[in-house]
Chain A
Amino acid sequence: MSKIVKNVEEAIRDVNDGATIMFGGFGLCGIPENSIAALVRKGVKGLTCISNNAGVDNFGLGLLLQKHQIKKMIASYVGENAEFERQMLSGEMEVELVPQGTLATRCMAAGYGMPAIFTPAGVGTEVAQGKEVRKFTFNGVEKEYLMEYAFDADFAIVKAWKGDTEGNLIYRATARNFNPVMAMAGKITIAEVEHLVQPGELDPDHIHTPGIYVHRIFQGEKFEKRIEQRTVRKK
C-alpha cells in the first residue's frame, strides 16, 4: 500500500470535526503550512490542536483561529497572536498551557509507547494542580516530580525538508523542532515535504524519522516559509 497521496486534500480526507491534531513547528518555522491551509478550506470545526505556538494573526494556526475552528489549544507559548489572546480571555476557546519540555516529552512518550512521564517542570505552580506529585531520588538528589500523560492524538501533521516514498523524513536546521516527536506520536501521521524523492535517494544514516511512523506523505505545492522576526546585521 502506497503512502503517497496525490495532494493535501487527500492527505487530510478523514480529518473531521472534533479531531485532535498535533502540528509540528516552532513559531512559524517548520509548520505544515499546506495542510493548515487545506484544513481552513475544508472548514472542519471543534478541533483540539497540540502545537508549541498558535501561529500569528494571519499565518500558521492563526488562520484556523480566525475561522473559529479551534475548540481547544494545547501550547507552551502563545504571545504573538492577538486574536488568540482575545479568544482565550473571553473564554471562546479552551487553552491548556504546558511547559515546552513537558509538551515535547508528552509527544515523545506517545511515540515510545509509554503512558506517562515524570518531570520537575511546573512543581509548585498552577501547572501542578490536580496532578500526581512523586518524590524520586535521582542522581543523589531527592526532588519532586509531576506525572504527565502521553498525548493521545488522532493525527500528527508534520513538515519535513525531504521525504521518500517509504515515509522516511529528513528535516532542515531548526525547522526540525517538534516535528520528529510529533511524527512518532500520531495515530495517523501526515507528512508534507519540500522534496519527495525515491527510495535510495536518502542516506539511511541520515534519516531523522523512520518511515514506520509516517502513514501519508506528499510534496507541498508551495512553501511560503514566512519569517517571524527578521533580525540581521550589516555586512
Chain B
Amino acid sequence: MLDKNGIAKRIAREVKDGMYVNLGIGIPTLVANYIPEGIHVTLQSENGILGMGPFPFEGEEDADFINAGKQTVTLLPGSSIFDSATSFGMIRAQKVDLTILGAMEVSEQGDIASWKIPGKMVKGMGGAMDLVASAKNIIVAMQHVNKAGESKLLSKCTLPLTGVKCIKRIVTEMAVLDVTPQGFKLLELAPGVSVEQVKNATAGRLIAEGNIPEMKID
C-alpha cells in the first residue's frame, strides 16, 4: 500500500519533459515534489499562474501570490500571470497537457464525481468541471475506498457528476488502472498488494489479465 506521497511519486512518473500541467488540491499538489530531475515541467494554477514555484521561505510570504488552493506560493523565473478568463481559455483550448485531480467516485465509463454530497457537503466544483470537460489527459489521484470502506471505483457514480466519460487513468494507494470500454484495467500493483485485494476494493468491473507488474516508484 502506498501513502499519499507514494501515490504522488507514482503519478510524477507520468509527467513528461515540456508538459504544461495543472495540479488539483490535495494529493495532486504533492506531485510537484517528485518530478524527476532533468524533466522541465511548467505548472499551471488556474487562478492565473504559469510557472508556479515552491512555497515561499518563512517571512517571505506575500498575500498577492497564491495558488488555486489559496496557499502562498512563489513564481519561478520565466513565469507569467493572467486573469481567470485567460486561464480557463488555455484549459478549454487544450494548451494544458496534463490534469491531475482528486475524486470522490470514478465510474468504469470514466465519469467522475468530486464536488457535492447532496444534503451534506457542498463545496462547489471550482475549476474541476472546466478541466475535466476539456483536458486531453486526466489522471485521478485518490484513495481506492472511502472512509466508510466503500469502493470509489464503481460501475456507475452515485454522487452528482463533475464530468462524463473523461477519466483515462487512476492511481490509488493500491494500483494503477486505466478506464477501458471493458472496465477498469489493472496495470500495476502497489508493493505488497495482491490482485485479490484490488478486486475486493473495486465495485466496478475489474480486468486483471496475465501477470500484473509491481509499480516502480523511486
Tell me if chain B binds chain A: yes
**Residues A174 and B48 in contact in the complex (CB < 8 Å), given A76-B125, A78-B123:** yes
Whether B57 lies near A233 (C-beta < 8 A) is yes
- Which A residues are in CB contact (< 8 Å) with B124? 75-79, 97
- Which A residues are in CB contact (< 8 Å) with B37? none
Instruction: Verify if A163 is at the interface (C-beta below 8 Å from B).
Output: no
Specify the main secondary structure of chain B where it touches its partner.
Answer: loop
- Which A residues are in CB contact (< 8 Å) with B61? 227, 230-232
Of A26, A127, A208, A234, most B-chain CB atoms within 10 Å: A26
> For residues 199 through 235 of chain A, which have their beta carbon under 8 Å from a beta carbon of chain B?
208, 225-235
Whether A104 lies near B129 (C-beta < 8 A) is no
Instruction: Verify if B5 is at the interface (C-beta below 8 Å from A).
Output: no
Whether A99 lies near B119 (C-beta < 8 A) is no
Whether A177 lies near B129 (C-beta < 8 A) is no
- Which A residues are in CB contact (< 8 Å) with B129? 99-102, 121-122, 125, 127
How far is A59 from B128 in the complex, measured between Cα atoms in Å? 25
How far is A119 from B129 in the complex, measured between Cα atoms in Å? 10
Instruction: Verify if A35 is at the interface (C-beta below 8 Å from B).
Output: no
- Which A residues are in CB contact (< 8 Å) with B115? 97
Which of the 9-residue segments A6-14, A149-157, A178-186 touches chain B?
A178-186
Instruction: Verify if A176 is at the interface (C-beta below 8 Å from B).
Output: yes
Min distance, Cβ A65 to any Cβ of chain B, angstroms: 15
Instruction: Verify if A114 is at the interface (C-beta below 8 Å from B).
Output: no
- Checking A52, A121, A234 against B58 with a beta-carbon cut-off of 8 angstroms, the contacting residue is A234
Whether B63 lies near A88 (C-beta < 8 A) is no
- A29 nearest CB neighbor, chain B only: B66
How far is A97 from B46 in the complex, measured between Cα atoms in Å? 17
Instruction: Verify if B134 is at the interface (C-beta below 8 Å from A).
Output: yes
**Residues A26 and B66 in contact in the complex (CB < 8 Å), given A180-B83, A233-B56:** yes
Of B64, B67, B119, B162, most A-chain CB atoms within 10 Å: B64
**How many chain B residues have a CB neighbour from A under 8 Å?**
58
Instruction: Verify if A105 is at the interface (C-beta below 8 Å from B).
Output: yes
Instruction: Verify if A32 is at the interface (C-beta below 8 Å from B).
Output: no
Whether A230 lies near B72 (C-beta < 8 A) is yes
- Which A residues are in CB contact (< 8 Å) with B81? 173-174, 176
Which of the 9-residue segments B13-21, B85-93, B194-202 touches chain A?
B85-93
Of A76, A123, A225, most B-chain CB atoms within 10 Å: A76
Whether B126 lies near A77 (C-beta < 8 A) is yes
Min distance, Cβ B63 to any Cβ of chain A, angstroms: 4
Min distance, Cβ A97 to any Cβ of chain B, angstroms: 5
How far is A161 from B63 in the complex, measured between Cα atoms in Å? 12
> For residues 146 through 199 of chain A, which have their beta carbon under 8 Å from a beta carbon of chain B?
161, 172-181
A102-B130, A235-B57 known; 11 new pairs, CB 8 Å cut-off, are: A26-B47, A28-B63, A77-B124, A77-B125, A85-B122, A89-B119, A105-B88, A108-B85, A123-B133, A174-B64, A180-B85
B contact residues vs A (CB 8 Å cutoff): 45-49, 54-73, 75, 81-85, 87-89, 91-92, 94, 111, 115, 119, 121-130, 133-134, 160-165
- Which 3 residue pairs are nearest across A and B when measured between Cβ atoms? A101-B88, A101-B130, A124-B164
A-B contact pairs, 16 of them (CB 8 A): A29-B70, A79-B124, A100-B46, A100-B127, A100-B129, A101-B130, A102-B130, A121-B134, A123-B133, A125-B129, A125-B163, A177-B48, A179-B83, A226-B63, A229-B69, A230-B72
